[in-house]
Chains A and B, each alone.
Chain A
Amino acid sequence: MRVTQGTFSFLPDFTDQQIHEQVQYCIDNGWAVSIEYTDDPHPRNTYWEMWGHPMFDNPDAAAVVYELNECRKVYGSYYIRIIAFDSSPGWESIRLSFIVNRPADEPGFKLSRTEVKGRNIQYSITPYSSDKPQGSRYK
């Protein structure tokens, strides 16, 4: 099951050239771009691991694509996303975020129903991949 989230979630995966152009748009708007990765695809997993610092003072997107490829060398089988942080007064939040790398095989989520009092049902989802401990998923 293809995990989607963020700004361009309905589009097919970007090529490096397309990533470059999107990142350049962010930089030209004065947003700080950073790279994050994770091996836990649960939608409530908001805070991913940071790959280096947010890049505040690189005028060209090539730097981000370069770092992305460095990150892919190490975590090529993980989810990697690019986020753009807008620090202008009054905003101070993420403006844009999109997935740029995903595992070759995404096993998807298990939906479990728990019957509770009064025949109510509680739903929860668990990624199949998180059965294994962190770091040994998606090998």
Chain B
Amino acid sequence: MENEGKEKEAKTVTEVNLKEDFQASGVADILAELDKSLIGLKPVKTRIKETASLLLVDKAREKLGLVNESPTLHMSFSGNPGTGKTTVALKMANLLFRLGYVRKGHLVTVTRDDLVGQYIGHTAPKTKEVLKKAMGGVLFIDEAYYLYRPENERDYGQEAIEILLQVMENNRDDLVVILAGYKDKMDKFFESNPGFRSRIAHHIEFPDYSHNELLEIAEVMVASMNYEFNEESKKAMAEYIKIRKKQPHFANARSIRNAIDRARLRQANRVFNNSEGPVGASFLSQIEDVDIRQSRVFSGGIDK
């Protein structure tokens, strides 16, 4: 009896309230959080918002019986190191979970090592194990292009790619795959693996951060560690970013985090050497400009 009632109800759905759906799904919270917690990344945020509304409308259309097939959700994130690809993937998993496209919403992060085996017959079970773990959630493959090594024709990566493609196609309802990596290498990877290109619906590019954005990121990072900059150290940080950005191996936000970690080290050293008697919290959490200016970057060296 109860079931009958439900069926009747399902059949009589003739209109949906998108705004209500939007509120109920909790997507608004995630988008707001995305806006707040991630600095810069304008194009990425816009793409995610577009994707979210597409998926929301798709769900509504499904309710009205306008679509039967589930959309392809596999994505590719391309951008330089430290531009927030993993962070956004985590948010994406949560977003898809709220929208009801994945059942659990967990994120499984893997690289080539986790998928490709060392000897014949090792790769397939290894890849399947990872895929099974990611079912109901999102599989994030970092530096995906390493899966394909054209210079070695006996490379087992090809086997992993085949299994991946098969599961991406046949178990579309069970998991979402996100491939990530540097822009140029990703392009080459897709060129040589057209199967991937056609199975991925959303290509999102992550731009590099500007000077101001990096400085803002530095401030957020420092604040999250319960430290603080003063006027001089902020200026020093801005200068540091300017010089560091031109050096090789610059990894955007990751370089900034490393720089801050080293500044904390020097700060601790300075505080320890200069302190006599009891000290307060503000003394322990103040990062002075000397802590930053001692960096090798200012004397022409390179911070790793």
Q: Judging by beta carbons under 8 Å apart, are A66 and B135 in contact? A: yes
Size of interface on A: residues with Cβ below 8 Å to B: 10
A59: contacting residue among B131, B137, B171, CB under 8 A: B137
Inter-chain CA distance A59–B173, complex, in Å, is 15
The answer to whether B133 touches A62, judged by C-beta atoms less than 8 angstroms apart, is no
**Within 8 Å of chain A (Cβ to Cβ): is B219?**
no
Closest to A59 in B: B104
Across the two chains, which residue of chain B brings its CB closest to A70? B128
Contact A57 B135 (CB under 8 A): no
Q: Give the dominant DSSP class at B's interface.
A: loop
Interface bits A74-108 vs B (CB < 8 Å: 1, else 0)? 00000000000000000000000000000000000
Q: From residue A137, how far is it (CB to closest CB) to chain B in Å?
A: 28
> Which residue on chain B has the smallest CB distance to residue A53?
B129
- Determine the distance from Cα of A66 to Cα of B133 in the docked complex, in whole angstroms: 12
Among A55, A60, A67, point to the contact of B137 (Cβ < 8 A).
A60
**Distance between Cα atoms of A61 and B171 in the complex (Å):** 13
Q: Which residues of B contact A66 (CB under 8 A)?
A: 132, 135, 171, 174
Instruction: For the complex formed, measure the closest distance between the CB of A55 and the CB atoms of chain B, giving whole angstroms.
Output: 7
C-alpha spacing A104/B111, complex, angstroms:
43
Is B242 interfacial (CB-CB < 8 Å)?
no
Question: Residue among B106, B131, B135 with the most chain A CB within 10 A?
Answer: B135
Q: Please tell me if the beta carbons of B174 and A58 are within 8 angstroms of each other in the complex.
A: no
Q: State whether the Cβ of B197 lies closer than 8 Å to any Cβ in chain A.
A: no
Q: Max chain B CB contacts within 10 Å: which of A57, A58, A60?
A: A60
Q: Give CA–CA (A60, B132) in the complex, Å.
A: 8
Q: Smallest CB-CB separation from B167: which chain A residue?
A: A66
Asked whether, in the complex, the Cβ of B106 is within 8 Å of the Cβ of A59, the reply is: yes
Measured between alpha carbons, how far is A59 from B108 in the docked complex, in Å?
11
Most B Cβ at <10 Å: residue of A58, A59, A67: A59
A121, CB-defined interface residue at 8 Å: no
| Nearest opposing residue in chain A for B175, CB measure | A62
Whether B171 contacts A58 by the Cβ 8 Å rule is no
Report which B residues bind A (CB closer than 8 A): 103-104, 106, 131-133, 135-137, 171, 173-175
Nearest 6 Cβ contacts at the A-B interface = A60-B136, A63-B132, A62-B174, A62-B135, A60-B135, A63-B135
